[in-house]
Amino acid sequence: MELVALQGLNFVYISLTLALVALGLAVVFGLLGVMNMAHGEFVMLGAYSVLVVQNAGLPLLAALPLALAVCAAVGWLLEYFVIRHLYRRPFDTLLATWGLAILMREIVEAVFGRDYKSVNQSLPGTVEVFGAVYPAYRVVLMALMVAFFAGLFLWYRRSNTGARIKAMVSNPALATAVGVNTAVLARGAFIFGVCMAGLAGVALAPLVRVEPYMGIDYLLSSFFILVVGGLGSLVGLLVGSTVIGGSDAIVSAITSKTGGYMTVLVISILFLWLRPNGIVARD
Amino acid sequence: MASSRAINVLFLIGLLLVPFMWDSFVAYQLGLFLLYGMVGQGIGLCWGRAGFLPLGQALFFGVGAYVFGFALKLEAGPLILVAGLLAAILLPALIAFVVGFLVFIRQIGSGPYFSLITLALTMLGFQLANSMDWLTGGFNGMTGIPALPGTDTYETLYYVIWAALVLVSGVLAYVGTAPFGQLLGATAQNEERLQYFGVNTALLKAIAFAISAAVAGLAGALFAPHQGIVTPQSVGFLLSAEIVVWTAVGGRASLMGPVLGAILIGFMASELRDSFQYWEVLIALVFVVVVIRFPGGLWSLVEGLARRLPSIGAKGARKRDLETDKSRADGSVRLAFEDVELVLGPVRILDKLSFRIDTPGVHSIIGPNGAGKTSAFNVLTGRLKPTAGRIEYNGATVGGLSRHRIARKGIARKLQIPSVFPDLSVDRNLDIALWAGNLTLSQMFTLRPFRWSTPLLNEMYDIFPFLEDGRQPAGSLSLGQRQMLDFAMTCLTQSPLLLLDEPCAGLSSSETGEMIDAIERIVATTGSTAIIIEHDMQVVERLSNHVLVLNQGALLANGAMEEIRSNPAVQAVYGGGSK
Amino acid sequence: MNRRTLLKSSTAAALLAMTLAGPVTSAFAADDPVKVGILIPQSGPGGLFGPSSKNSAELAVEEINAGGGILGRMVEPFYADVGGPPSDAIQAALKLWKGEKVDAFIGMHDSAVRGALDNLFKGQVPYIYTPVYEGGECADGVYVLGETPAQQLEPVIPWMAENKGASKWYLIGNDYNWPRDTNAAAKTYIEASGGTVVGEEYLPFTADNFDSNLAKIKDSGADAVLVTLVGGASVGFNRAFASFGLSDDVTRLGTLIEENTLAGIGAENSKNLFSSAGYFANIDTEPAKKFAEAYKAKFGDDAPVLNSLGESVYDGLLLLKAIADKAGSLDVAAMEKAAEGVSYSGPRGEATLEQRHTTKDIYLAEANGADFTVVETFSNVGAGDNCQ
């Protein structure tokens, strides 16, 4: 029973964190068609923000505004100088952002050094949930993520921005004609996307390794989630995270972690091949 | 053209001289970059020409390296080596062909999905190479691979690599010039249009992918003796990405650009790595700038210089001296729509549409906007699958077949917007039409089809004299000329059934007159059946006696022009029919 | 058409290489320096160890030269980055060997690169391999300084059984040769100490979530875990391990958890964490303290933290000097004759070369917050049989 509860909590946790990490990429890839290879590097920026806050002796929450400010600034720079020139050239954005990812890594390495940094647990210790001993920080984080996704879902459904973004995606020329400023909207969407990546970095920093090369992990898993879940819908994002996180967890539990990893790869390939629009197709 | 070929040859000769001009160490280092450059050339074929980007080429490189490394380690004589080399080339080609065909046939096209599949495959390959240590030596690699017999790894192996580069360049140059390469280029420009010419573009792209994999496999095979070790990194995602980067920097659309990119970045990395801490920053910056500023890569700068040189042996006029008779023995057409329905989402576009056409001549489809005219063409030509009902053409069901299959049954289609291949010359555009339905797979790799001609082509030259200036790109023609070229191409397929969607759209009144004459003349000489969609009643009246009226996805009226005119239902739709 | 200019522009790449590669010298004189190629990772996953390796090498060169050099000749170091795949490393090594004509190599890199270099050097140039590795190197001209699994585990596992009650072991490592070979050795020592192996698992390099592994460890009832994950994976695993409260009851032993990895794991996650190695930054012996002070004096307080991998390059130069001085030459044939039984003394203590490997002291350290404290020293531990 205890093991079942533990595995169940792990399953929910991995699905939520994967969705959180992939959210930014889903916005940028799904709405703008930009395969942002520097996505993981924004997660890294978020994590280093926590480190800066910690070294300055400030509370962990101070990292949130810092991470958002840093990611927004860097995101604006990238969009203005690079991305906006390449919106209609998907392969070129992929290559350019790949180069930018290297740049961001090297800059962080130059500032903070190559070594591993340890971010303190702000909520150390464990609590018992359904008979399973579980890290307290994770439990709080899971509750926050559920609330966050619910809020995001409602906002996107209700707000005008959501409609305008949908309009821009489905018909850029028409959107411009009816007065939607697509350039501003695109920049906004890109900055929002990378800020979400930074947010994920803040949330995960106390749990993971923090170093300049940490981004690549998040990039790849995010791509797989988008592939399975489909682009352009929040539900798809959550479904994709559940499928990827779940199949990895289940196969890893039964066989080995290598088996789980290869299963994720095979599932991704099958989805790309047979259901390129994902489980939840774009509406 | 000629000067760019001269540059390529000079580049290769320059590479041959490197061991003499510098030392053998520089040549050894260069050898590795040439191997990577070859892989890049394969990527160039797929990406620069056919428009799909493979992101996992290291998979094929690594497979080639492991297979030939294994054969070398057996040290069992030349026969085994030759078999090993063949396997190192053919196994990657086979994998790529199967993967490519399965992916491309699903019409998810050339976009990022294909790229991501290849990326995931190379990651899978890395993991397998890493885990199967009984076969590959695991992470530490397959070690102690002996030198290629008869060569010294640090001296003479370079010439073997150089020869392989020449071979690969030659093959790729030839393949690019042959009909295969022209069709591949057309695929990148307008894949759907090519399918209406009966070309199986999925097969075409899968073959291109297989060729690129074979090249990568050959490069990998030479990598094994060059390095003496093969590790999973040779299969990995990072190497794949790096080679794509080099290809982009060098020039994806050129033959030698990828090689130049591999050499330049290779030497830059190797020299800066130990002396300049932020060498990766520098390379990333170079790379980002090239992607944004010079999408053609560095080779386009080289070619820019080359263009100032006098071009040697400029080609004369095209010779079309191989008469091919394309006219089909039995040009008769029996077409039947039976209760065809098409539902897209909540919209019912075709609603039990039924009609028959079994007489030669020109038939017209008219009807208000949204009546389902173009949709009827779409379900007939395989652009859309009918939701229900049957479409029969000469006794066979065609509804739901793929586009190129339907085209090969003798249905040619001209889209409403002129859809020529803008970057190809007028001659090449005409070639593609002449090849439609006739060109076999093996002929795609010979040069003879460029000399094909048909009586109908000469008639086209007579009707549209501007076609004789065959060397100008089709994209530089006026809108009217593009409509005419498109129409000519549709007719040159000599399909018994021609579907013409508003052939006079966007034409001036004098051009419209020319076009009407042309349609009448072609239909008369070829004895084919044409169905045109037309809004202009004067055009309809002049061309055809049989008119079908569609409204709200169903047949409203069907008969001679006079009957249609007096039909009260038609009059109601057209508000008195006073057009 | 001007062929000459074209030819030049088309081979501009090679030209670039030529001008940057510097002059190729072949003249040799007795008072020429001893050129030593020092191959360390400065990029890629191992790049973390580049700075401390380079500093250690510089310190060694300075001290050796102050003491009269090798064979009476000054040592001149040439550094190259071998943090990439073997193909890059071969180029880097060749450039030093054929271009700079270095006389010997010191290498601190993974075993894939070692295999590539073996095949390149073929015993024509002395090559000292310094980091922890899985054992089994036996080629001519190659001398190994790093710890083998036999050295790190043979004395340590019985100690863990006796002092920490470790009897049910769970083995977890990355999916490649070193962890597999380490665990194969570990199994015999665990059985010999009366313990059992309750689980064994290998993770791909990409693994960044360890929940399923932790659940398995918990379920297996293990009381000790042997960690052969490397770098970032080790950091991530150990952090998650502690966050689940497992560190209170289960002892961890790592054979490649050095000071950087421990810093990443963090003080609050390092309870009951042990590490076995030939060197730690705060070994409490005179030579080790002297070395650490000299390092600090030369590179300052903010210098990259000392660790067993970085320091191994320092020892590598000492070993090279010891063999060369005894052989009276840097010629491989002469060194081969002299190598067996050569001994030297460094920060790690006394070491003797046997079967190309060093017999030396092994330290077992326990994490104490973000630092290691040596809790036991095992003297003169042999590297096991590496030449079958």
Q: Is C8 helix (H, G, I), strand (E, B) or coil?
A: helix
Nearest CA in chain C to B231: C112
pLDDT band at residue C13 under the 50/70/90 scheme:
very low
Residue B72 has pLDDT above 90, yes or no: yes
A42 against B370, higher pLDDT: A42
Chain B neighbors of C176, CB-CB under 8 A:
130, 138-140
Residue C305 has pLDDT above 70, yes or no: yes
Q: pLDDT per residue over B102-114, tens digit each? A: 989 876 665 778 8
* Phi, then psi, of B437 in degrees rounded to 5: 75, -10
Residue A277 has pLDDT above 80, yes or no: no
Neighbours of B552 (CB within 10 A): 15
Tell whether B352 is covered by a domain: yes
- Residues C122 and C262 grouped into a single domain: no
- Residues C254 and C297 grouped into a single domain: no
- Residues C52 and C201 grouped into a single domain: no
Tell whether C325 is covered by a domain: yes
- Nearest Cα of chain A lies from the Cα of B77 at a distance, in angstroms, of 37
* Phi, then psi, of B504 in degrees rounded to 5: -105, 10
Instruction: Let me know: does C99 contact C113? Beta carbons within 8 Å.
Output: no
Q: pLDDT per residue over C181-199, tens digit each? A: 999 999 999 999 999 999 9
Which of B171, B206, B234 lies at the terminal end of a domain, its last residue? B234
Q: Give buried/exposed letters for C26-62 (b at 16+ CB in 10 A, else e).
A: eeeeeeeebbbbbbbbbbbbbbbbbbbbbbbbbbbbe
Q: pLDDT per residue over A175-217, tens digit each? A: 777 777 778 888 888 999 999 999 999 999 998 889 998 998 8
Q: Hey, are the CB atoms on C112 and B22 less than 8 Å from each other?
A: no
Residue B316 has pLDDT above 70, yes or no: no
Residue B445 has pLDDT above 90, yes or no: yes
Alpha-carbon distance of A48 to A60, in angstroms, equals 12
CB pairs under 8 A between B and C: 151
Chain C neighbors of A208, CB-CB under 8 A:
208, 236, 239
The predicted structure's pLDDT at residue C16? 41
The predicted structure's pLDDT at residue A3? 80
The predicted structure's pLDDT at residue B327? 61
Tell whether C17 is covered by a domain: no
Alpha-carbon distance of B555 to B341, in angstroms, equals 12
Q: Per-residue pLDDT averaged across A61-76, rounded?
A: 94
Encoding tokens for residue A166? 């949908």
Which 8-state DSSP code applies to residue B48? I
Helix (H) or strand (E) holding B45: none
Q: Where are the beta strands (DSSP E) in chain A?
A: 126-129, 132-135
Q: Of the candidates C155, C275, C279, C292, which has an alpha carbon nearest to the alpha carbon of residue C227?
A: C275
Q: Tell me how long chain B is.
A: 579
Q: Give whole-number Cα distances, A32 to A113, A157, A166, in Å.
A: 34, 19, 11
User: What DSSP assignment string belongs to B463-506?
Assistant: H-GGGG-TTSBGGGS-HHHHHHHHHHHHHHT--SEEEEESTTTT
Shortest CB distance from B231 goes to which of C18, C91, C112? C112
Chain C neighbors of A135, CB-CB under 8 A:
243-245
Residues of chain C with pLDDT > 90, as a percent, come to: 80
pLDDT band at residue B311 under the 50/70/90 scheme:
very low
Tell whether C167 is covered by a domain: yes
ipTM of the complex: 0.89
B158 against B416, higher pLDDT: B158
Residue C244 has pLDDT above 50, yes or no: yes
Which of B202, B219, B234 lies at the terminal end of a domain, its last residue? B234
The predicted structure's pLDDT at residue C1? 37
The predicted structure's pLDDT at residue C5? 38
Tell whether C95 is covered by a domain: yes
- Residues C245 and C166 grouped into a single domain: yes
Residues 6+ apart with CB under 8 A from B166: B12
Q: Hey, are the CB atoms on C45 and A213 less than 8 Å from each other?
A: yes
Q: Hey, are the CB atoms on B274 and C92 less than 8 Å from each other?
A: yes
Residues 6+ apart with CB under 8 A from C91: B29, B32, B270
Q: Hey, are the CB atoms on C48 and A13 less than 8 Å from each other?
A: no
Alpha-carbon distance of A182 to A164, in angstroms, equals 9
Q: pLDDT per residue over C208-232, tens digit each? A: 889 999 999 999 999 999 999 998 8
Q: For residue C100, give the CATH number of its domain.
A: 3.40.50.2300
C-alpha R_g of chain A: 19
Q: For residue B564, give the CATH number of its domain.
A: 3.40.50.300
Tell whether C306 is covered by a domain: yes
The predicted structure's pLDDT at residue C105? 97
**Beta-sheet pairing, C75-81 with A126-129:** unpaired
- Nearest Cα of chain A lies from the Cα of B428 at a distance, in angstroms, of 26
pLDDT band at residue B330 under the 50/70/90 scheme:
low
Token pair 């609330």: residue = A147
Q: Residue B567 carries which side chain, given as an amino acid letter? A: N
- B344 burial class (0-12, 13-18, 19+ CB within 10 angstroms)? exposed
Q: Per-residue pLDDT averaged across B172-184, rounded?
A: 93
Encoding tokens for residue B116? 């991501």
Q: Give buried/exposed letters for C67-90 (b at 16+ CB in 10 A, else e).
A: eebbbebebbbbbbbbbbbbbbbb
Q: Ranked by mean pLDDT, which of B405-414, C41-50, C127-136 comes out on top? A: C127-136
Residues of chain A with pLDDT > 70, as a percent, come to: 92
* Residues within 8 A of A (CB atoms), C 254-313 only: 260-261, 263-269, 304-305
Tell whether B503 is covered by a domain: yes
Residues of chain B with pLDDT > 90, as a percent, come to: 42
User: What DSSP assignment string belongs to B428-458?
Assistant: HHHHHHHHTTT--TTGGGSSGGGGEE-HHHH
Nearest CA in chain A to C50: A114
Domain span at residue C137 reads 32-147+285-354
Residue B441 has pLDDT above 60, yes or no: yes
Instruction: Let me know: does B501 contact B378? Beta carbons within 8 Å.
Output: no
Instruction: Let me know: does B162 contact B156? Beta carbons within 8 Å.
Output: no
- How far from chain centre, in Å, is Cα B457? 24
pLDDT band at residue C22 under the 50/70/90 scheme:
very low
- B231 burial class (0-12, 13-18, 19+ CB within 10 angstroms)? buried
Q: Name which of C208, C257, C273, C371 to mutate to probe chain A: the one with the most chain A Cβ atoms within 10 A of its Cβ.
A: C208
Q: Hey, are the CB atoms on A95 and B245 less than 8 Å from each other?
A: yes
CA atoms within 13 A on the CB side of B401: 22
- How far from chain centre, in Å, is Cα C231? 13
Residue B90 has pLDDT above 80, yes or no: yes
Residue A140 has pLDDT above 80, yes or no: yes
- Residues C320 and C374 grouped into a single domain: no
CA atoms within 13 A on the CB side of C110: 26
Tell whether B407 is covered by a domain: yes
- Residues B68 and B198 grouped into a single domain: yes
Chain C neighbors of B138, CB-CB under 8 A:
176-177, 180
Nearest CA in chain A to B246: A95
Least confident residue range of A160-164, B226-230, B428-432, C151-155:
A160-164
Alpha-carbon distance of B251 to B258, in angstroms, equals 6
Residues of chain C with pLDDT > 70, as a percent, come to: 92
Chains touching C, CB cut-off 8 Å, 3+ pairs: A, B
What average pLDDT does the structure give for chain C? Answer: 89
- Total domains, chain B: 2
Q: Give whole-number Cα distances, B366 to B12, B511, B522, B558, B564, in Å.
A: 60, 21, 22, 10, 11
Chain A neighbors of C209, CB-CB under 8 A:
14, 248
Residue A104 has pLDDT above 90, yes or no: yes
- Residues C193 and C240 grouped into a single domain: yes
Which residues of B make CB contacts under 8 Å with A? 47, 53, 102-103, 106, 108, 111-113, 115-117, 120-121, 123-124, 127, 131, 241, 244-245, 248, 278, 280-281, 283-285, 287-288, 291-292, 295
Domain span at residue B553 reads 335-422+495-573
Alpha-carbon distance of A127 to C346, in angstroms, equals 49
Q: Does C163 lie at the interface with A, CB-CB under 8 angstroms?
A: no
Q: Ranked by mean pLDDT, which of B159-163, B440-444, B462-466, C99-103 comes out on top? A: B159-163
Q: Per-residue pLDDT averaged across B497-512, rounded?
A: 88
- Residues C331 and C270 grouped into a single domain: no
Residue B439 has pLDDT above 70, yes or no: yes
Tell whether B374 is covered by a domain: yes
Chain C neighbors of B229, CB-CB under 8 A:
86, 112, 115-116, 119
Q: Does A258 lie at the interface with B, CB-CB under 8 angstroms?
A: yes
Residues 6+ apart with CB under 8 A from A239: A228, A229, A279, A280
Residues 6+ apart with CB under 8 A from C241: C210, C214, C217, C225, C247, C250, C252, C269
Neighbours of B122 (CB within 10 A): 27
The predicted structure's pLDDT at residue B500? 92
Q: pLDDT per residue over B143-172, tens digit each? A: 989 999 989 888 889 999 999 999 999 999
Residue B179 has pLDDT above 60, yes or no: yes
Alpha-carbon distance of B163 to B161, in angstroms, equals 5
Which residues of A make CB contacts under 8 Å with C? 3, 6-7, 10, 13-14, 113-121, 124-126, 133-135, 137-138, 207-211, 213-214, 217, 220-221, 248-249, 252-253, 256-258, 260-261
Q: Hey, are the CB atoms on A6 and C215 less than 8 Å from each other?
A: yes
Q: pLDDT per residue over A222-241, tens digit each? A: 888 888 887 767 888 899 99
Q: Name which of B4, B26, B36 to mutate to probe chain C: the one with the most chain C Cβ atoms within 10 A of its Cβ.
A: B26
What average pLDDT does the structure give for chain A? Answer: 86
pLDDT band at residue C287 under the 50/70/90 scheme:
very high
Q: Residue A197 carries which side chain, given as an amino acid letter? A: A
Chains touching B, CB cut-off 8 Å, 3+ pairs: A, C
pLDDT band at residue B537 under the 50/70/90 scheme:
confident
Tell whether C88 is covered by a domain: yes
Least confident residue range of A203-207, B511-515, B574-578:
B574-578
The predicted structure's pLDDT at residue B300? 86
Tell whether B579 is covered by a domain: no
Alpha-carbon distance of B477 to C134, in angstroms, equals 69
The predicted structure's pLDDT at residue C356? 94
Tell whether C23 is covered by a domain: no
Encoding tokens for residue B269? 């990395």
pLDDT band at residue A170 under the 50/70/90 scheme:
low
Token pair 């040619």: residue = B412
The predicted structure's pLDDT at residue A61? 86
Shortest CB distance from B112 goes to which of A35, A107, A262? A35
- Total domains, chain C: 2
